[in-house]
Structure 1
Amino acid sequence: MNAELTIKSAIRETLPTVFGYLGIGVAFGLVGHAAGLSPIIIFLMSAIIYGGSAQFITVSLLATSSPILSIIATTFLINSRMILLSLTIAPYFEHKSLTDNILIGTLLTDESFALGMNKLNYTDNQLNFPWLNTANLIAYLTWVMASLIGALLGNFIQNPARFGLDFAIVAMFIGLLYLQVIADKRLNYLLQVTVIGLTLGLTYLGLIIIPSSLLVLVVTIVGCILGVFFKKIWRH
C-alpha cells in the first residue's frame, strides 16, 4: 500500500482480496445449487442480500422450509456487525453527500473495511470516496459473478470443501490481519498480539455459550472494550 487515495491505487490494493471472494463465492454457488436453487436465484441472492455468511445460512433455512420471519431475523442478526463497521467508517465521510454515504455503507464488507483501516496507516488517517467506493465495487462485482460461476459449476463439483474453497475467506482474513499488524506503527506489536489472542479466546468461549448468529457481534463489542482498556494501561 501507499499514500495514494485514487481509483488506480484502490484497484491495485484490492486485487489480492479478489481470490478470497472468488473462492467463497464459488463455494456459495455450489452450496446453493446443491440445495436446489437455480443459478438466477443464486445470482439474485448475491446481488441483493450481499452477505456471505448470511447467504449460507439463508440457503440452509430455505432447505429446511423455515418461516420467512425466521430467515429475515437470522439474516439481520448475522449482518448486524455491519452496523459497527459502518459507524467506525462514517466519520471519514461526514462531509460527503447522503447518497455517497449510503453507497459506501451498502457495499461495505468486512474485507473492504479491513483494507480501509489498513490504508489509514499510509494516508495520515485519511480516506476518500473514490478509493473506498472502488474497493467496495470490486468486492461486490467479484462476489456476484463468483456466486453465479459456482451455481453453473454445480453439476460438475459436488463437494467444494474437497478443493479447499471453504478456507479461502479465512486465509484472506489472516493475510489482512497480518498486514494490519505490521503496518500500524502507532501501536506496540505486543499489544496488538495480546488483543488478537484475547479475541481468539473470546471467540472460542463464545462458541460454547453464545448463539452463532450473535457471536461475531458480541465478540466484536467485548473485544473493542478490552482493546481500549489494555491500550490505556499500556500507555501508562
Structure 2
Amino acid sequence: MTTPKSVEKNKETFKGTLIFWLCEIMGELGIHCFVSGRTLRGLLYLSMTIISCFIIPLAVPFVMFLGKPMYGLDLIAGIMIFIVTVLVFIDAWTIGNGHYENKINGKKYRGGLWMKVVAILGLVLNLTYVVFGGYFFNMSETISNDLKTRVVTVLNAGVDDYLEKQGLFFDKEHQIGSFEQIGYASHFKYFDFIDLNAGLKISYKLNFGCPHQSIWTITPSIVDGKLKWNVTEPEDTRCSEFFPLKLNLKEK
C-alpha cells in the first residue's frame, strides 16, 4: 500500500545547488522565486529591494534639498531590507532542508547540510551590515552633512572670490567696482550672487538648513581712503549657525 510519505519520497527531485545559490546571491531580487514559479513572492522581494535600495536613496537627497522633513524614510528603507533579508534566509533554509518545491512542476529541490550552514552565515553577515553598518539608518545624516559641507564651501568660495577681486580693483583704481569692472563671475550653485554695483547680495536658492531666499549682503565703502566692509547676515539665526561665513576682511 502506498502512503503519502512514500509518494513524497518517490517524487522526482531537482539538484538544489543552483536554486540555492540564486537565493543566496540574488535572493533580494527574487530571482530564485521566479525560477521556482513563485512569481508574486518574487515581485514582493524585487519591489521591496528596489524601493529600499534605489527609490528611497534617490528620494532622500531630493527631500533634503527642498528642506522637507524625512518622515523616517531612512528607517523605512532599513526595515524593508531587514524583512527581505529574513525572508530570503527562510527560503535558503527551506532549500537546505529539501522542502523547497518548484511550483511549476511540483518537484522538490534536494538540500544539504552545507546549505543550511551557508544560509546561517549569510543571514548573520547581512543583518550585521544592515543593523550595525548603519548605512540606511544614518542615510539622512550622511547626506545632510555632505550637502551642508558643499553649500558652505560654495558660499565661502563665492564670497572670498568677490572680496579678493574687489580688493585688487580698489588697489588699482581707488574705487569700488561692479562685477563686470572687477571681473567677478557669479555662477555658483545653491546661491544667487547679485551685483549691487557697490556691493554683493547673496540669495539662498534652497530650503535646507536655512529658509529659501535668505539674504546676505557684503558692501564695501571707502573711509579715509581705505576700503572697509559691512556684512549683514539673514535674520534667521539658523543661517549663520548652519552656514557660517569665514571672512577675511582686511582694510585696504
TM-score (norm 1): 0.26
Q: Which is richer in strand?
A: 2
Q: Which is richer in helix?
A: 1
Which of these two proteins has the greater Rg computed from alpha carbons? 2
TM-score (norm 2): 0.24
